[in-house]
Amino acid sequence: MQLARVIGDVIATRKDENLHGMKLLVLQPITADGSPAGRTLVAVDSAGAGIGETVFFVRGKEASFPFYPTEVPTDAGIVGIVDRWDLG
Amino acid sequence: MQLARVIGDVIATRKDENLHGMKLLVLQPITADGSPAGRTLVAVDSAGAGIGETVFFVRGKEASFPFYPTEVPTDAGIVGIVDRWDLG
Amino acid sequence: MQLARVIGDVIATRKDENLHGMKLLVLQPITADGSPAGRTLVAVDSAGAGIGETVFFVRGKEASFPFYPTEVPTDAGIVGIVDRWDLG
Amino acid sequence: MQLARVIGDVIATRKDENLHGMKLLVLQPITADGSPAGRTLVAVDSAGAGIGETVFFVRGKEASFPFYPTEVPTDAGIVGIVDRWDLG
Amino acid sequence: MQLARVIGDVIATRKDENLHGMKLLVLQPITADGSPAGRTLVAVDSAGAGIGETVFFVRGKEASFPFYPTEVPTDAGIVGIVDRWDLG
């Protein structure tokens, strides 16, 4: 999983039926020191995240696990909202 | 998922039988600021996209979900056409 | 999926039993403008491709779909031979 | 799999229910010569790892195997703690 | 799949139970011209490879196929030992 900031959202009326009703958020991945790292991406959300929050997300088929038995065609999903992280 | 522009299509008469009848589109991924990011790729389409449109696509096995129970051997699929995106 | 040129083959007598009898081809991925992009890789072939041809291939578990129910341990497979591609 | 150092942990009270009770650790991947390589990431742990230890972790759906039948939505999991490695 | 040289091994007494008894080898991926390409990684082996040999390996869930029905939590596995490869 990676840390990310939620920086926007996507409006798409024509999309796969299993994506209907899903919030599509734009994420900027960040590293453990808080700096941007890598390309922005679009993720579904099962954690109730909003723009401006720091989250962690999962890539791959695992991103669809929270929506079973619906087979959501996504490869990125927010699975938690970060309170804080500590470097030891 | 990633944002992309549809920039072309691929003609292939000899291909896996589960790809027959599928539209094969060439995508240029873009970032949230609209600039190209990363290599072009070939994707199947379940959203009715055409050349010149902005879409979002999924990578991995999830790209074949919209075609179940047919096991389409693809690792990239357009799952929505973007009306717009907003950066908050 | 990505476009690629078939540039060679691999000879391996000791390999996983589910790879026996499979053609193992060396691919050079290319972008939509025909230039090499990224590292060479080894792929199985279900499309009848040969050295010198332009193909498109799939990465990940999907590469084993054409061989079901045999569980071929591969993460890259040629699934089509390209006649041409057009940029719109 | 990749070698990594455990460099921190993440606190997240709002997260997918299948992540509840899971330790979320921040990893810095390293190469075989011990130098950092690639971005930090967040992983679950099934090996009992702690901050400061050298581990190896798995990416992808495989990261959820140790928690079956619970479908943990993770794409990275520590699966072993390294005693040492030898370059031949 | 990618070509690689086996350059070392990893000793780990505390690891996921489905990794017990598995040889954990350190690989350096190489390209078709034999030069190193990309980061070292740790792979399981179902082909009987040893240090110094040239192999090809698979990434992802497919790396666990040779060990079915055991669900080995690995994302990289050696599936063949290379006799030679030819560039056409």
For B1-25, letters b (16+ CB in 10 Å) and e give bbbbbbbbbbebeebbebbeebebb
- Domain assignments of chain A as residue spans, ordered by start: 2-81
Give B16-41 pLDDT, tens digit per residue. Answer: 999 999 999 999 999 999 999 999 99
Q: How many beta carbons lie within 10 A of that of residue C84, not counting itself? A: 9
What CA–CA distance (Å, rounded) separates A42 from B58?
A: 9
- Cross-chain Cβ contact B82/A12 below 8 Å: yes
The residue of B35, B65, B70, B78 whose CB has the most chain A CBs within 10 angstroms, and thus the best one to mutate to test that interface, is B65
DSSP state of E51: T
Task: Pick the closest to residue E27 from C47, D9, D20, D2 (CA basis).
Answer: D2
Give C36-60 pLDDT, tens digit per residue. Answer: 999 999 999 989 999 999 999 999 9
DSSP run (H or E) holding C4: strand C2-11
Residue matched to tokens 């792929």: C43
Give A65-87 pLDDT, tens digit per residue. Answer: 889 888 899 999 999 999 999 99
Q: How far is E85 from chain D (nearest CA, A)?
A: 24
The band of E33, judged by pLDDT with boundaries at 50, 70 and 90, is very high
Which residues in chain D show pLDDT less than 70?
none
Res. E77: pLDDT tops 90: yes
Res. A35: pLDDT tops 90: yes
Give B44-65 pLDDT, tens digit per residue. Answer: 998 999 999 999 999 998 898 8
The band of E62, judged by pLDDT with boundaries at 50, 70 and 90, is confident
Residue matched to tokens 């742990």: D45
- Cross-chain Cβ contact C64/E66 below 8 Å: no
- Residue from the list C32, C62, C88 with its beta carbon closest to the beta carbon of B73: C62
Contacts with E16 from chain D: Cβ below 8 Å: 46-47, 65-66, 79-80
Homologous superfamily (CATH) for D2-81: EutN/Ccml (2.40.50.220)
Residue C85 backbone phi and psi in degrees, to 5: -135, 150
- Give the contacts of C28 (CB within 8 A, at least 6 positions apart): C4, C5, C7, C36, C40, E32
What CA–CA distance (Å, rounded) separates D80 from D53?
A: 10
**Percent of chain B with pLDDT strictly greater than 70:** 100
- Cross-chain Cβ contact E15/D81 below 8 Å: yes
CB distance D31 to E39 below 8 Å:
yes
**Percent of chain C with pLDDT strictly greater than 70:** 100
- Cross-chain Cβ contact A65/D76 below 8 Å: no
- Give the contacts of C49 (CB within 8 A, at least 6 positions apart): C6, C25, C55, C78, C81
Which pLDDT score, from 0 to 100, does residue C61 have? 87
Region E21-33 average pLDDT: 96
> DSSP for D40-82?
-EEEEESS---TT-EEEEEESGGGGGGGTTS----SEEEEEE-
Instruction: For residue E35, count CB atoms less than 10 angstroms from its CB and return exposed for 0-12, middle for 13-18, buried for 19 or more.
Output: exposed
Which pLDDT score, from 0 to 100, does residue E43 have? 98
Task: Pick the closest to residue B1 from A22, E63, A52, C80 (CA basis).
Answer: A22
- Give the contacts of C21 (CB within 8 A, at least 6 positions apart): none
CA distances, C85 to each of A53, A58, B24, B76 (Å): 42, 34, 10, 17
What value does the mean pLDDT of chain E take? 95
Res. E88: pLDDT tops 90: no
Which pLDDT score, from 0 to 100, does residue B62 have? 86
What CA–CA distance (Å, rounded) separates A5 from E53?
A: 44
Res. E29: pLDDT tops 90: yes
Q: How far is E24 from chain D (nearest CA, A)?
A: 9
> DSSP for A30-85?
E-TTS-B-S--EEEEESS---TT-EEEEEESGGGGGGGTTS----SEEEEEE-SEE
Region E51-76 average pLDDT: 93
The residue of B5, B6, B7, B10 whose CB has the most chain C CBs within 10 angstroms, and thus the best one to mutate to test that interface, is B10
Interface residue ranges in chain A relative to chain B, Cβ cutoff 8 Å: 6-16, 18-19, 24, 26, 28, 39-43, 51-52, 60-61, 63-64, 71-76
- What amino acid is encoded at C54 in this protein? T
Which pLDDT score, from 0 to 100, does residue C43 have? 98
The band of C20, judged by pLDDT with boundaries at 50, 70 and 90, is very high
Instruction: For residue E38, count CB atoms less than 10 angstroms from its CB and return exposed for 0-12, middle for 13-18, buried for 19 or more.
Output: middle
Region E69-82 average pLDDT: 94
Q: How many beta carbons lie within 10 A of that of residue E55, not counting itself? A: 26
